[in-house]
Amino acid sequence: MAAPADATTKGQALALLAAAKNHGDLAVKLSSLKEVKEILLSLEPSLSAEIFPYLRELCLSPEVLVRRSLIEIIEEVGLRMLEHSYVLVSVLIHLVGDNDPTVAEKSISTGTTFFRSILEKMETQFHHHGKVDRWCVNLWTLMVMFKDAVFNIALDLEPGRVVGVKVLALKFMETFILLITPHASDPEKVSTSSEGSRQMINISSLAAGLPMLNLTGLMSEVNQTLVRLGSFLQAPTLIQDALPIAVIDCSLSFSLAVVARKRPVHYDTVLSVLGFLKCTSSPIVESRDLLLRAFPAMDPADVSDQVVREVDELFRVNEHAANENRSSQILEVFPTLSSLPVQLRDHLQQMIHWLDEAIIGDMLPLYERRNDMRQVLDRDRRLRCLFKRFYDEDRARNEAIAYLLDHPEDGHRSQSEQIYGFSRVRPAVWVRCRIKNQVKMGVLIEFLESSVTVQSLGTVYSELPDDVGAEEIHKIVVLDIRFGNIDRNLGNLLVQAEPRNGSAAHLVPIDHELSFFNDAHPYITCGACWIKWLKKIDKDFSSQLVNYVAALDPDRDLEFLRHCGWEPNQRYIENFTVFATFLKKAVSQGLTALQIGLLASYKWEEDLDYNLHCIVASVQREDNNFVESVGTRIEQRLREFHENLHGNA
């Protein structure tokens, strides 16, 4: 009988699942699923298993991010509670055929992990007890269904299947062959990694004691699989587009080569299949050349994973070109416009339309003689936007992220119809486009009329621009600290006169490519130009700004970025969360803009104990709750700093 506390926890989980299914706000759905995962991990496996059936309905959710979050729950919870994961694995098999490629790819990747784990568990049980538990046998039955579903995807010759999904399906076929084929060097040996993961499975011994595995049938299927892969490789004409041929053939060739090197028993079969290397067809030549260049220098275990990462990006560009109107030169954008409020979506769509027309009409003259910056002119040759070319995708995307996270005063960007945010970052879109038959990547930024840089006014660092008050500087401080900006100078601050009042002026920040990360010193700002100004007018924050900072929610911001089509990496999540935590706690404790700027600046060395980068460095990285521990340490040190200031006063 479950304890009352367990019953209450189960009720909480079911309520959260109902919110994940029915709530109108995607951010609420995703945060609810995150809480559900934590609850499932905190309960005894048998109690968590009572909740698993209620997860099944989420695989029908119309939101892609909800379905992806469901797979993450299945992976993290199911692998920890393998004995109780039957329902979860059945849901995973359903998602293998999902219409969204990112969901299908994640399902195949997660299913591959389950396939290996279940086979290893069966081998372990048989090795220690001479038998395999019924639950494990039942899971193996599901794994056979998973195998069949993925094989159908891998060998589907019909056009329309996204290449990334097919490449992962082919990777699974490689894994299947390697797991089922005994290792020639020592078929009886089973090694164990430092994490306890079994690296080699004694399939022969396992099958001998467990007839339902049917080793003869499995080996026959391995041989048939190799033949089918060979037939697939030799039938490229069934797929019309050249790039998918090159991508799939290259990935498949890598997988076959891995099989040949790791399982010599298949060497002759693979060698005959790879006869395509003599083919002179253009797409095959490309994949052949890539194979011959890359394979000798790489470890076979890493090859297919690299193919998945690199060629999926190539195909995405090609796929956009094939599906879009042939006159359009826009291949890919971030953010996903459908994820934004209507007025903002329309505004950014108009900017993208201007760029598309400018490319087609060849109306992209240089801006101020800069080769990396182009003017985007409309049909009347009016300057509407600037297109800045980048070679670094992260830096280009940072410009769009800075705009998205500069929330308007009336609320979070995900819900506000306001175009311009609190700190007035210009609307920006990350774009991949085709210009004169060459694919270019960059950021499209709305042009600001009647503005000049602070630098062009002849202002020196110790002087303020005319008619710019402390509140304007404070807005830039908030932005730069939130984003960890290491490049704020007089050249990337614009001064704009207020149209309704010639005596008032605003600061408008530009160039945020060096925000959000800094490998050398990840928790400092750059000793920004505004520090000099604040030493002359260090005033308290306005109540408006204090309320704005108090409402900032880094977790919600990260979910918003995912909803917009980008998955932040762990380094980004950590840096962004730490800077936001520092800003919120510093403002709530009454520190001034100058004090906050100095604590986050590498130039201030009066007391390093209170510098942000020193505070972070004082927390052990081995701490499983590193970010939370940093937040606690920040609050403690800032309180000490505040008390010392008032004590000295």
In angstroms and rounded to an integer, the radius of gyration of the C-alpha atoms of the chain is 29
Task: Give the separation between CA 534 and CA 464, rounded to whole angstroms.
Answer: 9
Q: Directed axis angle between helix 543-551 and helix 470-483, to 10°? A: 20
Lowest mean pLDDT among 32-41, 129-138, 390-399, 471-480: 129-138
Tell me what the mean pLDDT of segment 203-212 comes to: 61
Amino acid at 443: V
pLDDT at 266 over 60: no
Q: How confident is the model at residue 487 (pLDDT cuts 50, 70, 90)?
A: confident
pLDDT at residue number 34: 92
Task: Give the separation between CA 245 and CA 204, rounded to whole angstroms.
Answer: 37
Distances, alpha carbon 535 to alpha carbons 253, 423, 460, 463, 506, in Å: 64, 21, 14, 10, 20
Three-state secondary structure call for residue 190: coil
Long-range interactions of 25-28: CB distance < 8 A, separation 24+: 26/63, 26/65, 26/66, 26/559, 26/563, 27/414, 27/556, 27/559, 27/560, 27/563
CA angle 626, 627, 633 (to 5 degrees): 90
Q: How confident is the model at residue 364 (pLDDT cuts 50, 70, 90)?
A: very high
Q: Tell me what percent of the residues of the chain surpass a pLDDT of 70.
A: 70
What's the chain's average pLDDT?
Answer: 79
pLDDT at 368 over 90: no
pLDDT greater at residue 179 or residue 430: 430
Distances, alpha carbon 554 to alpha carbons 38, 573, 577, 632, in Å: 19, 9, 6, 16
CB atoms within 10 A of CB 498: 12
Closest CA to 413 of 349, 344, 328, 310: 344
Task: Give the separation between CA 168 and CA 345, rounded to whole angstroms.
Answer: 33
- Residue 451 buriedness (CB in 10 A; 0-12 / 13-18 / 19+): middle
pLDDT greater at residue 58 or residue 250: 58
Exposure pattern of 214-238 as b/e (b: 16+ CB <10 Å)?
ebeebbebbeebbeebbebbeebee
Distances, alpha carbon 546 to alpha carbons 409, 474, 478, 541, in Å: 12, 11, 10, 7
pLDDT at 557 over 90: yes
Three-state secondary structure call for residue 624: coil
pLDDT at 425 over 50: yes
525-541: per-residue pLDDT in tens?
765 678 888 888 878 99
On the CB side of 270, CA atoms within 13 Å amount to 19
Task: Give the separation between CA 179 and CA 436, rounded to whole angstroms.
Answer: 48
Q: How confident is the model at residue 224 (pLDDT cuts 50, 70, 90)?
A: confident
pLDDT greater at residue 153 or residue 409: 409
pLDDT at residue number 232: 60
